[in-house]
């Protein structure tokens, strides 16, 4: 419920952008926004004025449909502008329903089809290790995405190569449970040989603590954070599966959403 929600302003910004664009996945962005905000504010070394900076850390949004959360953070860090947000999904804009990394400064991967970003992140982490560079690689996957076989291929390969400079975050927002449940996520990843952590993905303290704890280092277990989240977190009537997945709020609904986020 709204009482324990932080990042209300970012949520409002997401809703405003999607309302304006007429397209988007609000609940999928709401489940990850608290984590993505923490990454861009406190974890990732990035420079909005120099998107291809060699020393940057890499964030790959493997569940591309959560891109509204990425876009508002890229705007906050100066990669893109408010005007870009307002042109989302318009023919003259650079932002769409899934990110196109060839057009969006700061977006590290073009994702949308699930089970791709995780493998690209794996190769990137390997490449940085070959170069003996310390840049972090963090990829955010969905629990629904975890139905894809490639996610588990990556699980095997990441552990076998000991890519300790790589961290996956699984947005465990209950989507898979509606489709093909992926139970005991933490145990599964541990059994694959990853250093697994479970957190409440909407708790500022737990998010901070886990990133304090994790050490990015070469030749160590890769890390995975199971972030237990709520799809639509922050707006009571969106905290359900189904009707709001890709729904765009009308003016009346927008007013109610803003009230809840006040």
Partner 1 sequence: MGGLRDTFAEVLHELGKEDPNLVVLVGDISHYRLQPFAEDCPGRYYNIGICEPTIVSMAAGLSKAGFFPVVHTISPFIVDRSFEQIKLDFCYQKYGGNFITAGSAFDYAALGCTHHCYGDFGILKTLPRTQLVYPASDVELTELLRQTYNNEFVTYFRAPMHGHSQKFSKGDIIFGKGIKIKDGKDLTIIAVGSQLETVLNARPRVKEIADAEILYIHTVKPLDADLVRQSLRKTGRCLVIEEHSVYGGVFDDVLRAARDLSGTRYSSIAIPNEFIHQYGTYQEHCQRLGFSVDGIIGKIKDELL
Rounded CA separation 162/154 (Å): 12
Is residue 110 at the binding interface for partner 1, with CB under 8 A as the rule?
Answer: yes
3-state SS, residue 82:
helix
Single out the residue of 221, 216, 220, 223 nearest to residue 198, CA to CA.
223
Place of tokens 């947000």: 85
The nearer residue to partner 1, 26 or 169, going by C-beta atoms, is 169
Is residue 251 at the binding interface for partner 1, with CB under 8 A as the rule?
Answer: no
Q: Which two tokens mark 248? A: 């765009």
Q: Are strands 137-142 and 166-172 parallel, antiparallel or unpaired?
A: parallel
Q: Are strands 223-228 and 195-200 parallel, antiparallel or unpaired?
A: parallel
Single out the residue of 71, 166, 183 nearest to residue 127, CA to CA.
166
Size of the site for partner 1 (CB under 8 A): 29
Is residue 240 at the binding interface for partner 1, with CB under 8 A as the rule?
Answer: no
* H or E stretch at 167: strand 166-172
The nearer residue to partner 1, 99 or 174, going by C-beta atoms, is 99
Among 69, 109, 238, 257, binds partner 1 (CB under 8 A): 109
Least spacing, CB of residue 167 vs partner 1, in Å: 15
Least spacing, CB of residue 137 vs partner 1, in Å: 9
Site for partner 1 in 117-176 (CB under 8 A): 118-128, 130-131, 150, 153-154, 156-157, 160-161
The nearer residue to partner 1, 29 or 124, going by C-beta atoms, is 124
The nearer residue to partner 1, 17 or 137, going by C-beta atoms, is 137
The nearer residue to partner 1, 99 or 201, going by C-beta atoms, is 99
Q: In what order do the strands lie in the sheet with 195-200?
A: 58-61, 137-142, 166-172, 223-228, 195-200
3-state SS, residue 42:
helix
The nearer residue to partner 1, 130 or 251, going by C-beta atoms, is 130
Interaction site with partner 1 (CB under 8 A): 101-102, 108-110, 112-113, 115-116, 118-128, 130-131, 150, 153-154, 156-157, 160-161
């Amino acid at each position: 419920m709204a009482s324990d929600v932080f990042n209300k302003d970012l949520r409002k910004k997401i809703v405003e952008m999607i309302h304006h664009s007429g397209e988007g996945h609000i609940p999928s962005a709401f489940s990850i926004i608290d984590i993505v905000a923490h990454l861009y504010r406190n974890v990732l070394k990035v420079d909005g004025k120099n998107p291809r900076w060699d020393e940057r850390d890499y964030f790959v949004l493997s569940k591309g449909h959560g891109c509204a959360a990425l876009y508002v953070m890229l705007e906050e860090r100066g990669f893109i502008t408010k005007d870009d947000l307002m042109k989302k999904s318009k023919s003259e804009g650079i932002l769409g329903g899934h990110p196109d990394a060839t057009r969006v400064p700061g977006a590290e991967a073009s994702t949308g089809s699930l089970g791709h970003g995780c493998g690209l992140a794996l190769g990137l982490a390997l490449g940085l290790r070959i170069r003996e560079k310390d840049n972090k690689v963090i990829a955010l996957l969905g629990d629904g995405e975890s139905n894809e076989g490639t996610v588990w291929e990556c699980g095997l390969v990441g552990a076998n190569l000991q890519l300790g400079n790589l961290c996956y975050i699984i947005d465990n927002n209950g989507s898979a449970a509606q489709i093909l449940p992926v139970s005991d996520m933490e145990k599964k990843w541990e059994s694959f040989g990853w250093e697994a952590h479970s957190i409440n993905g909407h708790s500022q303290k737990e998010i901070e603590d886990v990133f304090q704890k994790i050490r990015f280092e070469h030749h160590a277990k890769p890390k995975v954070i199971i972030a237990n989240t709520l799809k639509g977190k922050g707006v009571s009537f969106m905290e359900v599966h189904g009707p709001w997945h890709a729904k765009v709020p009308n003016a009346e609904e927008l007013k109610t959403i803003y009230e809840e986020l006040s």
